[in-house]
Structure 1
């Protein structure tokens, strides 16, 4: 595991969102997974599209990467970290998300 990857627990992210702290939540799952339930404040950028859509992210606002279990988002966190983003991986992914889920 890459020691450079920062991690955040689902509970910590939930608390940041409830406190309205500035944070970009990026969900790197596929569309069908997203439609089945996602974090309301999240933005969908499937992992394969991330290199093409990285300019949609604000380097001045911390980023939290989310997927189903934490593996894809870990790779995305490594990628953005190497590009100089303040980014953390939500451990456990949506399987561990304690908050409400929005369906599309």
Structure 2
């Protein structure tokens, strides 16, 4: 069922799967979904983050990939500030056979979505 849900909401762009913020929000509390933040620790600390996100900066991702092995059965939604770094991370994780999707527009789009709801 969750597979069907994911296949419906993802869009394809240059062989990279993306998910829109309004769809990712619905997955926040799903047990089989992990939000992976690939920004710097400074960005994570000072700009905020998505609830329960795991931080592994993109520059550290390849050497810390073993940290993610425990999440291999989960659907991983990767984000950064705008989407550029998370696309690189998504590509790397796909090559390592993770179930991974890029958050379209990154944390900027995430915050914009919530600011428009107020």
TM-score, with structure 1 as normaliser: 0.86
CA deviation after TM superposition for structure 1 residue 21, in Å: 4.4
Which structure shows the higher helix fraction? Answer: 2
**Aligned residue among 22, 43, 47 for 1:11:** 22
Q: Which residue of 1 aligns with 2:44?
A: 34
User: In 2, Cα distance between the equivalents of 1:46 and 1:93?
Assistant: 14
Q: Which residue of 1 aligns with 2:64?
A: 53
CA deviation after TM superposition for structure 1 residue 3, in Å: 2.7
User: In 1, Cα distance between the equivalents of 2:15 and 2:51?
Assistant: 28
1:25 aligns with 2:39: no
User: In 2, Cα distance between the equivalents of 1:47 and 1:86?
Assistant: 17
1:89 aligns with 2:89: no
The number of residue pairs the alignment matches comes to: 98
The structure number with the bigger radius of gyration is 2
CA deviation after TM superposition for structure 1 residue 82, in Å: 1.0
Stretches of structure 1 lacking an aligned partner (at least 5 in a row): none
- Kept after mapping to 2: 8 A contact 1:31/1:46: yes
| RMSD, aligned CA | 1.7
Change (3 A) 1:53 1:94: same
1:69 aligns with 2:79: no
User: In 1, Cα distance between the equivalents of 2:66 and 2:15?
Assistant: 22
Stretches of structure 2 lacking an aligned partner (at least 5 in a row): 1-12
Stretches (4+) displaced over 3 A: none
